[in-house]
Structure 1
Amino acid sequence: MLLGACSPASNSAAEAEQGKHVHFLYNFSTRSLDPHTDSSYVPLRAGITETLVRLDEDKLAVAPWLAKSWEGDDGEHWTIHLRDGITFQNGKPLTGDAVKASLERVIQENTGVNNALKIQSIEADGQTLHITTTEPFPEFVSELVNPNTSIIDVNESDIVNKPVGTGPFVLSSFTPGSRLELKRYDGYWNGASPLDGITFSFNEDANARSLALKSGQVDIVYRPEVESLASLDAQTGIRVDATSTFRVHQMTMNMQRPALQDVNVRHAIDALIDRKEIVDSILLGYGEPATGPFLPSLPFAPVYKQQAGGEEVAKQYLQKAGYTFVNGTMQKDGQPLKLTLLTYSSRADLPLIAQVFQSDAGRIGVGVDIRQIDTPEEYMAANRDWDLATYSNLTAPRGDAGYYLNATYHPKGALNFSGVHDDQLTAIIDKLNRTVEPQQRAVLAKQAADYVHDHVINAFVLYPSTIVAYNENKVKNWVTTRSEYYMITNKLDVM
């Protein structure tokens, strides 16, 4: 539909009518713009909403945004000072009471955020917030980087379809699953955008996204098809930009399934993953093999020795688990080993990883049934009828290990799709949550990551690069961020 929407002539007419305008094409669609629950983080990425603090990606540190400063020396009693002179896009002032109401709403609407923030009480006094957490939590402020904590005017009538935030662009219209139309907010506190408007549209087909840029129908494409990168790069006027991220593609394991409760089976699955081949053949080198959840360059990433892998190693682990290879099938007590593997198409490389794993597992007699799902977070949280899932996770979007470890391995974690409830691992994470000193936090983070590694609670496949392609003859000041949070900003411009 996007490709056939308009001819070059009508494009030119539309652009003249829109003024200075950029069309951004994203890979995840959403049917809700409620920033407190939207797992695609579209309201923040589209420049509608902002959070109290943001990540400084150069320093890997929390930086002011709507909040200008904060204190919380004991980790339990926090004082947050808001900037003066900020207004919502409806003209109402950003006050302590408005921020309090927004935070109270997200705590009520989003269980994962509620568990992460650990807020006991919030009091507002003018432009100052006084927040008490349920326990000492030194990294509390870093959790406010989460796009789901975006500050909105909760008194607006239709938050799902038209949230009102403080960002540089105000929503004009929203077609669920298709696109947003945005216009400049002239009263933006940090300087109005030079653009008149933005179209933020969705297409989960990577090939279609690439073709849309080649044909000039869009200006910026997030994650174009990897196979098309050479032709995009060769086309005059198109620039391909790639950067390492805080993301890992992992093989999530459902620890509640009987077969996967045996660590030897999990070792076998891990051994079957040919990481280098996947990076080279599927990502065409735009990534690197993963050894754990965190990029090796991060200060809290453990260093692992290279482990032997392959079919023979996987067979040895399965033999330890009591399986035998009979008539081309891996069996135990007369029952074949069959695994259901979930994947989703909005990240084009994940279904390909699933297919490679299915082929490799089949060669040692392990049956793998691939099941395509639409919204992985919703499906995996609500259903336990699966064994494995190719899943892509931001592991350090706050510049710290705490987010991923809490979300993925703590019993109350919003992304604990494996169903992990391990007292020893939980104790390490809880201690990390109470620790302030960075070097001590790094030690604890490594301990937790080592525990996950040694017990094979999930397998880590690769660290993908974030790839963006855009019309360099038109687009100005685009920045491909490592956190993947900050996309449409007031600095974005056209030539």
Structure 2
Amino acid sequence: MTFRTRRPLASAAGALALLIVAAACSSSDDPASETGDSVAAGGDLTVAGPIPIENLDPHGPASMDAGTQLAARAIFSQLVVSTGSGEFEGELAESWEPNADASEWTFTLREGVEFSDGTPVTAADVVASFERVLAGEGPLAGNFGGYTVAAPDESTVVFTSAAPDAAFLGKISSFFVTPQAAAEAGFFQEPIGSGPFVVESFEPGATLRLTPNAGYWDGEPALDSLEFQSIPEVAARMTALQTGEVDVTWSMPDDQIAALKSDSDLTVETVPSPGVLTMWMNGSTPALQDPAVRRALWQAVDFEAIIASLYPETGTPADSPISPAVLGYAPQEPVEYDPEAAKAALDAAGFDYGTVIRWQFSQANFRNFVDAVVSDLADIGVTVEPQEKEQAVFLEDLLALNWDMNLQQLGSQGYDAATNLGRLYTCEANRMGYCNEDLDRILAEAGSTSDTAQREELYAQAIEIIWNDGVGMYPMFVEQPYAWRSGVEGFEPVSDGVPYFDEVTVSGD
């Protein structure tokens, strides 16, 4: 079907995430630094962002966490990479082909690819990795219900579904291949991968230090080292960027962007993103079981004013749970701010105003947004208790439904609604305590047809149900801001917030 020779650094507009990005400064003991000459390549790149890397296992419960995805792209390899809606390039896969109804996908692996310990990457490793995803029942497994995988020979892998799955490429773009030994205890403390970098040291939630993989199939990176640091506090991260301790970051608050743009040592760029600021409401919480209550809470918040105040550079009021960049996007009638009508609807539904709604989030840059929403809801007598959690706790509680409202930025991996709606909103997924059998039927049909126009129509039906049932509040489409210091070369912002670093170099005086 398609193949690639070099990973693109800039993907087309649209895809998921939040994260961390790159930074650099020339090494003080480099001979070229002593003479004042420019360093053409190499150097130490430091990366910092709002989401810490807590886990390196791309198959486990944190597989879809932005920090884990960021680390995985540096350490491991994907079969295919998504570059836009319906657009893919091969990484480990040299080519792929579906059968007539897209229920079977056959991949041919690139020859000569090795893990960093020198062992070859074979179809057996792909099979073991995929089976580990399924057995782990993590977030990624929800994309592959009913799938089996086989390796007819060392370079061929066949994925088979019980039903047609035209969205398979978008789903598999979140999948990384690890050695068969990944099932052994302790493997992910010092993992072996086939990506551009190898792990030198890892302190969960703090620092991940990497060095180049000399045997990387696409050419050894020029960097001397790559370090990811966790700096969740916005003020500390901005200070680190401006002082040169960190040379690139992203997800900066809008009120910081103008000041960063005025700094001649920085490049600031904002790119479209598939991210949607999403506030799920837990349908299993007694006070939130009634769709009329959920819609009333949505109606009580002046999101347009909040966005205009807090996100003038990066926010646009949303009219769908998924971004316009994603296949399946369908605009809905905006929920108009009307606190009086919201209060009347809550009264009519018998809402208990003594209820305290627990609202969990994990990123410091959401604090002002959370405060604004809490204030608007308080104006109609609804009490919300913000709960800012460490990322690991946030993820654990998210899956356990230990919350009443949940705030996060959600994207659609592979630019396909199947990896968002089809993965998260089914009764089986049970990600927000909501179950609608009609929605399940529509999502299953949308995921099983290869007719793009039919898929778009079915996702439009699904979005209408999700929107009208108030499964969550969907305030804002998000653009992704990046900033990096002079001296970082070859870095390109990506729309999904999960960049690659194998073509980045560092220069300086």
Note whether the superposition's TM-score is higher than 0.5.
yes
Deviations 1:4-29 (A, max 9, x none): xxxxx998359979952211112211
Alignment map for 1:37-76 (pairs within 5 Å)? 37=60, 38-39=62-63, 40-42=65-67, 44-46=69-71, 47-57=74-84, 60-73=86-99, 74-76=101-103
Per-residue CA shift, 1:86-132, capped at 9, x if unaligned? 11111111111122122222222234333322322423412001222
| Aligned 8 A contact 2:327 2:415 in 1 | no
Mapped partners of 1:236, 1:65: distance in 2 = 37
Residue of structure 1 in register with 2:399 after alignment: 381
1:442 aligns with 2:465: no
- Return the letter of the residue paired with 2:400: A
Alpha-carbon distance in structure 1 between the residues aligned to 2:381 and 2:500: 48
Aligned to 2:75, what secondary structure does the other structure show? coil
Q: Tell me by how many angstroms 1:373 deviates.
A: 2.1
CA distance, structure 1, for counterparts of residue 247 and residue 399 of structure 2: 36
Instruction: Give the aligned partner of residue 488 of structure 2.
Output: 475
Aligned to 2:15: none
SS at match of 1:207: helix
The 5-angstrom pairing of residues 65-214 of structure 1 reads 65-73=91-99, 74-118=101-145, 119-146=147-174, 149-155=175-181, 158-214=186-242
Residue 296 (structure 2) aligned to one of 268, 282, 300 = 268
Residues 38-77 of structure 1 show CA distances to partners (whole Å, capped at 9, x for unaligned) of: 34354552411121111013x5423222111112223222
Write the deviation string for residues 413-445 of structure 1: whole angstroms up to 9, x where unpaired.
Answer: 3xx431121100000001011111111111111
What SS is found at the alignment partner of 2:271?
strand
- Alignment TM-score, normalising by the size of structure 1: 0.88
Cα distance in 2 for partners of 1:228, 1:449 equals 34
* Cross-structure match for 1:419: 433
User: What is the Cα deviation at residue 205 of structure 1?
Assistant: 0.9
Instruction: Please tell me whether the aligned partners of residues 80 and 173 of structure 2 are also in contact (alpha carbons under 8 angstroms).
Output: yes
Q: Is the 8 A contact 1:340 1:371 kept in 2?
A: no
Secondary structure, aligned partner of 1:336: coil
Structure 2 residue corresponding to 1:219, chosen from 228, 236, 247: 247
- 1:93 alignment partner, SS class: coil
Q: Does 1:352 align with 2:368?
A: yes
Instruction: Name whichever of 421-430 and 95-104 sits farther off.
Output: 95-104
Aligned to 2:382: 366
Deviation at 1:282, TM superposition (A): 1.8
Q: What SS does structure 1 have at the residue aligned with 2:95?
A: strand
Partner residue in 2 for 1:233: 261
Distance (Å, rounded) in 1 between the aligned partners of 2:273 and 2:214: 32
Aligned to 2:420: 404
* Shift in CA distance, 346/232, structure 1 to aligned 2, threshold 3 Å: same
- Name the TM-score, length of structure 2 as normaliser: 0.86
The equivalent of 1:25 in structure 2 is 48
Write the letter of the residue equivalent to 1:27: P
Alignment match of 1:259 (pick from 287, 310, 318): 287
- Three-state SS of the structure 2 residue aligned to 1:371 is strand
**Residue type matched to 1:382 in 2?**
A
Q: Are the counterparts in 1 of residues 26 and 506 from structure 2 also a CA contact under 8 Å?
A: no
CA distance in 2, matches of 1:345, 1:42: 13
Rate the CA distance shift 1:112–1:449 in 2: closer, same or farther, 3 A. same
Matched with 1:340 is 357
Higher relative contact order (CA closer than 8 Å, sequence separation 6+): 2
Closer/same/farther in 2, CA of residues 144 and 220 from structure 1, 3 Å limit: same
Q: Report the residue type matching 1:341 in the other structure.
A: R
Displacement of 1:389: 1.9
Q: What's 2:324 paired with?
A: 296
Q: Distance in 1 between matches of 2:381 and 2:30?
A: 57
Checking the alignment, whether the CA contact within 8 Å between 1:429 and 1:448 is kept in structure 2 is yes
- Residues 396-405 or 305-314, more deviating: 305-314
Cα drift, residue 401 of structure 1: 0.8
Equivalent AA in structure 2 for residue 232 of structure 1:
L
What amino acid maps onto 2:114 in structure 1? T
Higher mean C-alpha deviation, range 132-141 or range 20-29: 132-141
* 3-state SS of paired residue (1:45): helix
Give the Cα separation in 2 of the matches to 1:211 and 1:14: 26
Unmatched runs of 5 consecutive residues or more in structure 2: 1-24, 35-40
- In structure 1, runs of 5+ residues without a counterpart are 1-8, 323-331
- The letter of the residue matching 2:56 is L
Per the alignment, residue 36 of structure 1 pairs with 59
Check the 8 A contact 2:299/2:339 in 1, yes or no: yes
Residues 336-384 of structure 1, C-alpha deviations (whole Å, 9 max, x = no match): 24232323242512x3222111111111111222222223331122244
Cα distance, 1:303 vs structure 2: 2.4
* Structure 1 residue identity aligned to 2:416: D
- Paired-residue identity, %: 26
- Read off the aligned partner of 1:195 and give its amino acid letter: L
In the alignment, which residue of structure 2 is the partner of 1:6?
none
